[in-house]
A = this chain, B = another copy of it.
């Protein structure tokens, strides 16, 4: 596996990699959810590039960027073993040089749900992924379904800015008890960890209730009953998979989404309703 820390160094590799080239952007601290994206890219593409970059722009002023888990050595080993050809791991000064001032903004769809809690988050995500796509110029962009709103935002950016890449969303990888894999799971106490799978159970109850003809209000109520008492619900909803606009019913191509707090740790999860 080649490793590049600058755009020029990366371009020297990306231009020569046999096509199609698959790309997996990450913030590191890799778990099996990330590696599922690599496996998918490895199966479908001739070459695979991954990036590890903890993007300061997507953290709010009140969010602890310094505390975000980092393990570049471990990530490097996992990615090499998984068959990644090039790892792009720039530092912040490479991505945001002095005088940097440009933002990519997706408008209203970045202001609801996660965007309501983290007002500049999706602007940061949209900007860094636009930059990474311009550097790597892949044929396929692999995104995890777990961050459903992020997939909708990035599909929008790719379509609106005419980025010449296909977006593929890879199903969420779960622990054996149903908990969606996430870097944030490491922040949970033993008790919170035991209660955390109740988010997934609640989403299943919500989906099944809607499928049985319950109204959204009724379905959300039933879902919250299943939630562990230590989980404070942030939101439960059904949204269009592309626009992220709320839906009253379980329609094809929607996400059933939920966010809960365990103490200061927010967990997200969703179920995709296929067309």
User: Which residues of A approach B to under 8 Å, CB–CB?
Assistant: 7, 11, 97, 99-109, 126-127, 130-131, 134-135, 137, 156-157, 159-164, 243
Q: How far is the CA of A100 from the CA of B11 in the complex (A)?
A: 30
A105 and B103 in contact, given A135-B162, A163-B134 (Cβ under 8 angstroms): yes
Shortest Cβ distance from residue A259 to the other chain B in the assembled complex, whole angstroms: 23
Contact present for B162 and A100 (CB under 8 Å):
no
| Chain B residues, Cβ within 8 Å of A107 | 101-103
Contact present for B99 and A106 (CB under 8 Å):
no
| Chain B residues, Cβ within 8 Å of A163 | 134
Shortest Cβ distance from residue A121 to the other chain B in the assembled complex, whole angstroms: 16
Closest 10 pairs between A and B when the two form their complex, measured CB to CB = A102-B160, A101-B107, A134-B162, A131-B162, A135-B162, A103-B105, A102-B106, A134-B163, A100-B160, A101-B106
Pick from A108, A135, A161, A243 the residue with the most CB of B within 10 Å.
A161
Shortest Cβ distance from residue A152 to the other chain B in the assembled complex, whole angstroms: 11
| Chain B residues, Cβ within 8 Å of A99 | 156, 243
Shortest Cβ distance from residue A67 to the other chain B in the assembled complex, whole angstroms: 27
* 6 A–B contacts from the bound complex (CB under 8 Å): A11-B164, A104-B104, A104-B105, A104-B161, A134-B163, A137-B164
Contact present for A162 and B102 (CB under 8 Å):
no
Given contacts A97-B159, A102-B160, A103-B107, 6 further A-B contacts (CB under 8 A): A99-B156, A101-B106, A101-B109, A104-B104, A130-B161, A134-B162
Q: How far is the CA of A52 from the CA of B172 in the complex (A)?
A: 44
Q: How far is the CA of A144 from the CA of B157 in the complex (A)?
A: 28
Q: How far is the CA of A243 from the CA of B97 in the complex (A)?
A: 14
Q: Which residue of B lies closest to A153 (CB)?
A: B102
Q: Which residue of B lies closest to A160 (CB)?
A: B102
Shortest Cβ distance from residue A216 to the other chain B in the assembled complex, whole angstroms: 23
Contact present for B101 and A161 (CB under 8 Å):
no
Q: Which residue of B lies closest to A136 (CB)?
A: B162
Contact present for A131 and B161 (CB under 8 Å):
yes
| Chain B residues, Cβ within 8 Å of A102 | 104-107, 126, 156-157, 160-161
Pick from A7, A100, A101, A126 the residue with the most CB of B within 10 Å.
A101
| Chain B residues, Cβ within 8 Å of A109 | 101
Q: Which residue of B lies closest to A109 (CB)?
A: B101
Contact present for A156 and B104 (CB under 8 Å):
no
